[in-house]
Homo-oligomer: A and B are copies of this chain.
Amino acid sequence: MKLYDLEPSGNCYKVRLFCALAKIPIDLVPVDFMAGEHKTAKFLSMNPLGELPILDDNGTILRDSQAILVYLASKYASEAWLPKDPAHAAKVMQWLSTAANEVQHGPGDARLVDLFGYKIDKPTTIANSNAILPIFEAHLANNQWLEMGRVTIADIACYPYIGLSHQGGVSLEAYLNIRAWIGRIKALPNYIAMSGI
């Protein structure tokens, strides 16, 4: 199973991290992002959005880090990571949308501006961060993990760009519960880091 990968991408990291935690063997295939390899015909045929990561599991090609987490959890990991019960599964899914939307367009985009020079309106990314981080902070005041009282793919999907907030100039100093949650994730068996986190 191959993961077309970019080391500094938080979306790639969430897949690498999940595979490490759930002990899923995966072959990392580094993509030459600076040369635009992800925009070549070969890559666009796998992901027309021209983004990474892309998973290739013996011909099953998947784009989008959230969908990849759902796939890997359903197929290769314990049900603890993604419950089968519809209500519990949907509780986890809520946070996958939050990862794809509010977390991406808050601390994720702020970091894209500061670290990689993306032409995204920086004040909007800060406003988005200031809207979503207090919601995590309040939720984590009463919950050790986002759902189910244990680590699930919800945590793995949201963690990278929140953990990398400082790289976009977004401080987590005031967010004690978020910082404690980050600490719990870092303490998980088989945890792996990425640069900046």
Contacts and interface: CB of A to CB of B under 8 A. Distances in A.
Given A48-B138, A49-B102, A97 B97 contact: yes
B94 A96 contact: no
18 contacts: A48-B135, A49-B135, A62-B87, A62-B90, A62-B91, A62-B94, A64-B94, A66-B97, A67-B91, A67-B94, A70-B86, A71-B86, A71-B90, A93-B96, A96-B96, A100-B101, A101-B105, A121-B121
Interface SS of A by simple majority: helix
B87 A70 contact: no
A60 B83 CA distance: 15
Interface residues of A, number: 34
